[in-house]
Amino acid sequence: MNQAAVRSRNRAARWLTEVFQPPVVVTLQLLISPVVEAGFPGTIGYGALAALFVCVLPLLVLLGLVRLGKVTDHHVSDRKQRAPVLLMALGFVAAGLVVLQAANAPRSVMVMVLAIIAGIIVLAAVSPVWKISGHAAAVSSAAVICVLMLGPAWLPLLLLVPAVGWSRVVLRAHTLAQVVAGSLFGGLVMAGLWWLLRGWLT
């Protein structure tokens, strides 16, 4: 492959990695979570409130840690730094869950946040020993949940899973095995938890 092709490939990979990074994907996932509620789009504010605690506040703290030199980068490329960052995020998410409960948030939003909490706990437990792909987990979880929630018309979203996984391998952020594991974890475990929780809280 010539240099121009390599640069083009790497540029595409970086674009996919940044556009579909977990905070962005999960924010969109939370914003559309109340779409099944009778009051939508009036209920979208609850999705935004959830995104504030689940994505925005943890990301702001993470960027501050990066600026202070405590964390390598906003993708937390150093595996050893992942568990503490994920536990920090878990604290914000748990606080958000309390706020959402107090605000009488729709069931659809609560279920989504609970599934995310379960995902964070597992990723934090695995991260010290293996660098499973958070990008792959987030995009596969979001894509599968969207299909389950909104119907087969959203199946094309599943194409994002191999695309984002490819970007992480090309950028040498993860091995193929780590990307596949992240995709399976998000698409089967996290989406499965969402499905079960939705049934239990009906």
pLDDT in tens, the chain (202 residues): 678 888 889 899 999 999 999 999 999 999 988 887 777 777 889 999 999 999 999 999 999 999 999 999 888 888 888 888 888 999 999 999 999 999 999 888 999 999 988 888 888 888 888 889 999 999 999 999 999 999 999 999 999 999 999 999 999 999 999 999 999 999 999 999 899 888 775 5
**CA-to-CA dists, residue 23 to 28, 134, 171, 196, angstroms:** 9, 10, 19, 24
- Strand runs (DSSP E) across the chain, as ranges? none
**Interatomic CA distance for residues 183 and 151, integer angstroms:** 20
pTM here is 0.89
Cβ neighbours, 10 Å, residue 60: 12
Q: Is the dihedral of CA 23, 24, 27, 32 positive or negative?
A: negative
